[in-house]
Amino acid sequence: MRQDSFPPWVRQFLLPVTILLLLLGVPYLLRPVARVLLAVFAGVLLAVFLDGCAALLRRAVPIPRGFALATVILLIFLGFAGLIWAGGAQVADQATSLVERLPEAVEKVRSYLKESEWLRRLFSWISQGGGGTGGILGNLTTFFSSTLEAFAHTFIIIFTGVYVAVNPGVYSNALLKLMPRKRRLRGREILGELGQVMRYWLLGRLASMTVVGFLTATGLLLIGAPLALILGVIAGLLSFIPFLGPLLSAVPAILVGLTESPKVALEVVLVFVVVQFIESNLLTPLIERRAVTMPPAFVVAGQFMMAVLLGFYGVLLATPLIVLFTVLVQMLYIQDTLGEPVRILGDHRNDDNEE
């Protein structure tokens, strides 16, 4: 049956459904290698970040792209080396102390929960992985405990990111050759838009991670909470995951606070509430002007869906996948199929004119 024989509403409905099924169904069908595929996707995000940094450097200094990219990679390496030299030993010591304190904190929580039957059942349910969720908490524990797997995926991310950033045209051209000739120009436009949107999204996440990590560590130091530095680092890193990240980072901080006293744990909760208030009411409005933001309900629903499919790895990369899905629907479905004008997610090119 030729495409023209389908009613228009059928064609308009099939495209977004097909995109959604591909983004959700393919990872599920390829679950044995899904983590590797997600690591490759994370590497592509790293390549987008490196390419964006190199482009910014070339705006300031007229140098060849290869030299700019090498400079960016070198600066990032030196920055990490400087951080490790300045506070790496302290962070490592606090991380070791955190691992030692957490079992003690869990036992204290158990003792508190013994006073309430329904709380004890809730804690048992969470400890077993949440029943029907497929063991989300268990996947989180497995992720952090599997050192070899973490190193392997880190290598894949760095290897993919650097090689794609060095010559992105090779990979984009190979992808475009899979499309019909008459659609390649539009395909190149879509790839360019995806790269731009991902840059804006990463910009917003990095800004949020930096501010949240700094404010959390500072707040914990001010109240005299133990292991403030490593807990601030964890809060900053997990802020990469919108909405769920702050909740995940608060758990070890509260547990560590309980090893001191319930009062300290309450003060830790207050610190996290204040930090999230600052992020939501001061930082986020600034990010929304120059970065990509998504409807909270849409993001949280996608995160839980990816958690069920792929565990913590799915949660970690759920938001950039949602951003990818949104841009594809906007350009392939709303613009190309429906013929409706739409402002692409993260498009800030006309902001100055509107102001």
Q: How confident is the model at residue 146 (pLDDT cuts 50, 70, 90)?
A: low
**Does the pLDDT value for residue 138 go beyond 80?**
no
Find tokens 């970065």 and name the residue: 291
User: Which pLDDT value is given to residue 256?
Assistant: 85
Residues of 55-76 as b/e, b for ≥16 C-beta within 10 angstroms? eebbeeeeeeeeebbebbbeee
Q: How confident is the model at residue 30 (pLDDT cuts 50, 70, 90)?
A: low
User: Which pLDDT value is given to residue 217?
Assistant: 92
- The residue extents of the domains of the chain are 36-341
The total of other beta-carbon atoms located within 10 Å of residue 103's CB is 11
What is this structure's pTM? 0.72
Concatenating the DSSP letter of every residue in 93-155 gives: HHHHHHHHHHHHHHHHHHHHHTT-HHHHHHHHHHHTT-GGG-SHHHHHHHHHH-HHHHHHHHH
Q: How confident is the model at residue 215 (pLDDT cuts 50, 70, 90)?
A: very high
Quick: pLDDT tens for 72-102. Answer: 889 888 887 887 787 667 777 777 777 777 7
Q: What angle do CA 316, 318, 323 make, to 5 degrees?
A: 130
Q: Tokens at residue 273, please?
A: 């509430």
